[in-house]
């Protein structure tokens, strides 16, 4: 490639790198925001266990013993 045709401010240079960094940081920011909102919503969500003696170690029906208090 000839030196006259190269540009550091094209999409393959600094501008492209800055667009990629801003895009990735915005994605991380949005995912962090949603994770904080989800954690705050579920921090006060309590469960009660019914019939503790009937829970088996390996059973698909163990989820029936959890009752959402809210």
Mean predicted confidence (pLDDT) in 3-10: 67
Q: Which pLDDT score, from 0 to 100, does residue 61 have? A: 78
Q: Which pLDDT score, from 0 to 100, does residue 3 have? A: 61
Please say whether the beta carbons of 66 and 47 come within 8 A: yes
pTM of this prediction exceeds 0.85: no
User: What residues does each domain of the chain span?
Assistant: 3-68
pLDDT digits (tens, 9 = 90+) for 37-50: 999 988 887 888 88
Cite the beta strand spans of the chain per DSSP E: 47-49, 66-68
pLDDT digits (tens, 9 = 90+) for 9-66: 677 778 888 999 999 999 999 999 999 999 998 888 788 888 878 878 887 777 777 7
* Dihedral of the alpha carbons of 13, 31, 29, 15, in degrees to the nearest 10: 10
Backbone angles phi, psi at 55, to 5 degrees: -80, 130
């Amino acid at each position: 490639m000839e030196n006259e045709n190269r540009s550091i401010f094209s999409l393959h240079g600094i501008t492209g790198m800055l667009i990629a960094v801003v895009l990735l940081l915005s994605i991380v920011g949005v995912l962090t925001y949603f994770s904080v909102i989800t954690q705050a919503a579920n921090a006060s969500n309590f469960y009660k266990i019914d019939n503790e003696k009937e829970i088996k170690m390996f059973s698909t029906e163990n989820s029936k013993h959890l009752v959402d208090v809210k």
